[in-house]
Structure formats: structure tokens, C-alpha cells
Amino acid sequence: MTPEIAGIHHVTAIAGDPQQNVDFYAGTLGLRLVKLTVNFDDPGTYHLYYGDGLGRPGTIMTFFPWPGAPRGTIGLGQVGVTAFSVPRDSLDFWHRRLDTGGVATRGPTRRFDEQVLEFDDPDGLPLELVAGGGLARPGWENGPVKAEHAIRGFHSVALVERAPRDASARTTQLLTESMRCRLIAEQDDRLRYAMGDGEPGALVDVLLAAVPRGQTAAGTVHHVAWRTPDDANQAAWRERIGAAGLDVTPVRDRQYFRSVYFREPGGVLFEIATDLPGFATDESPEHLGERLRLPPWLEPKRETIERALPPLRTPGRTGRQA
């Protein structure tokens, strides 16, 4: 029997200016830039990976930054919100930090049994910090934010699906029957599903909305990836998703994990990614994200690729912590 999907592996979004993206995620939010590489399908573009100190699955936010990219619009068929976990008593700290950084916040507000602080990144991507839970995952000790307040990986993602509930029945059927998620809570037009242990990082919300279909561009999520431990389990999941009548891609080697992709019935692009081999496969844990890494098939083109990429100042391992 195929093990349950453990939760979110990573979320990949589209950004505009890469330096602005690094300054916000590695600076303001205090995540570690764990891998500096390129979009393997478009090597003239960076692919930036942020996460905890070791780049563990469940903490990884990634971006394709295209300078000058137009702003997208969020609607049906998209991830509407990406939420991170922070310690229970840290929202006041984050409210002050974001305010000092010129980031407008909304809340905190109460949702289910949690406190939620909402804000947008520089490209307009909706984000949330959710207080409580996820504390078994350590904060990055050497980051610009002290570990006691540091982001602890993902809390959840929210899928924007067509209202009323009957109109999104195929999506909820995929979640519950094929992906083995459990409906654990409802509030207004939000349905919360849990996978794996049901802790933060293994939650997916469905937002039922009467809105137009979204337009993917800067400030929107490109896809959300779910965790599976290894190649054998991924192959079993690929077969299972195909049996549900969805088109699944062949396995694609992403160097730090292997991936298959499919669109859920509402249109959100899903990925199932392996936990292995991880981000320390081509550089040591102490030096993650410090220089441009290329897969073997692109290494002969390094000089050309480096000329095409805009200069990027990457943060070193911490100075003063907040």
C-alpha cells in the first residue's frame, strides 16, 4: 500500500526582480537561500530556493524570477494563499518586523483555533504567518531572525476552487479518495483537509469562491508540490493519480528531488516530489546557496548562462539577529 503523502514538499511561485525577491525572503522573512540555480527548462532564468537551515522538505519556497514580468491575478485554479508556521507567541514580533520593513499587514485575525497575520510579498503574492504548532521543526539558528521567532516551514496552502461546494466536487474527491486527505474543519467557505500527521505543513485548505479564473504571472503560485519519500513511492503515486483519470507527466529529474506533475480538476498544478536526494547533494550543508549550481547537463554552458543572468547579491550567514 502506498504510504500517505506526508504534506507539502515545496511551493513554487513567480517573481519579478530577483534581487528584490532575495532581499525579502532571505532578509525580511529570514529564510535561508539554500540553493541558487536556474530554471532547468529556461536556464536564462534563476531558480531560487529558500528554506530552513538544511533545506528540509516542507520548508522550501522557490521562485522563478523574471525581471519585468507583469503582475498576475489570483482566482480559480490557483493557490490563493501560502501560509508559514511561526511560534505561538511570535506574531507581535513579526508584526513589528514587517512594519519596520515597510510591509503592510492585515490582522492578526482568528481562524479555526489559530491566529493569522496576512501580508503580501513585493510582487503581491499573498502570504500568511500562522501562530502555533510546527514547533517540532527547528528555526534556523544562523539566520537574521532569532530561532525562537523564526519561520518553521509551511503551515498550509489554500486552493481557490469554484463555489458552491458541488461545483468543486471533483477536486475534493481527488483530495479525499485519491490523495487520502481528511476533512477536519469547515469555516464559512473554507474547507480544511489534513494529510499525513495532520500537523502544520500537512494541511490544505479549499477556498470556495465565485471569482474568475486566475492569470499566472508575477505574484502568483506556479505549483504546489507534495512529499513522498523515494522513487518507489513516487512511482506508486504516479500510477494512482493516473488511475484517477488525470494526466501525469513522466518523472523529471530536478537534481535535488524527482518530480511528476498533474493538474487537479480545478486547474491547480500539483507535483509529487521525492524527499531525496536533498539540497546537500552538490554542496555542503555549511555552504548551501553560496554560489550558482548547475546540473551536469548544463555545466558545459556555465559561461553563457552566467552572462545571461542579472547580477545577484546573496546574503551571507548572519550578522546581527533580530
Q: Provide the domain count of the chain.
A: 1
* 318 domain-assigned: no
Question: The cell 508540490 sits on which residue?
Answer: 225
Let me know if residue 322 belongs to a domain: no
Nearest-CA neighbor of 28 among 158, 154, 149?
A: 149
- Domain membership of residue 315 (yes or no) is no
pTM of the model: 0.96
Measured between alpha carbons, how far is 80 from 208 in angstroms, rounded to an integer? Answer: 11
Single-letter residue type at 44? G
Q: List 213's β-bridge partners, or say none.
A: 76
CB atoms under 10 Å from CB of 275, counted, come to 17
2 in a structural domain: no
Please name the residue ranges forming H helices in the chain: 18-22, 91-100, 169-173, 231-243, 302-308
Per-block average pLDDT, block size 10, for the chain (322 residues)?
87 98 97 97 96 96 97 98 96 97 96 96 98 80 92 97 96 96 97 95 97 97 97 96 97 97 98 97 94 96 96 67 67
Quick check: bond before 277 cis, omega within 30? yes
Rounded to 5 degrees, φ, ψ at 320 are -70, 135
* Residues 151, 26: Cα–Cα separation, whole Å: 11
Compute CA 85 distance to the chain's CA centroid, rounded to the nearest angstrom: 12
Whether 143 maps to a domain, the answer reads yes
CA 123 to chain centre: 15
Count Cβ neighbours within 10 Å for each residue of 126-148 and write b for 16 or more, e otherwise.
bbbbbbbbbeebebbeebbbbbe
pLDDT of residue 316: 52
Neighbour tally for 99: CB within 10 Å: 12
Residues spanned by the domain of 278: 8-308
Is residue 319, in this structure, part of any structural domain at all?
no
Distances in Å between the alpha carbon of 116 and those of 14, 86, 143, 154? 24, 10, 23, 13
Question: What gap in Å lies between CA 203 and CA 156, rounded to an integer?
Answer: 5
**Biggest alpha carbon–alpha carbon distance for the chain:** 54
DSSP secondary structure letters along 114-167 = EEEEEEE-TT--EEEEEESS-TTSPPPTTSSS-TTTS--SEEEEEEEEESSGGG
245 in a structural domain: yes
Cell 525572503 belongs to 25
The CATH code of the domain that includes 220 is 3.10.180.10
Any domain includes 265: yes
3-state secondary structure of 79: strand
Q: For residues 297, 26, 119 and 217, what is the CA-based torsion angle, rounded to 10 degrees?
A: -20
**Coil, strand or helix at 273:** strand
H or E element at residue 194: strand 190-194
For residue 26, the SS3 value is helix
Is 179 within 8 Å of 243 (Cβ atoms)?
no
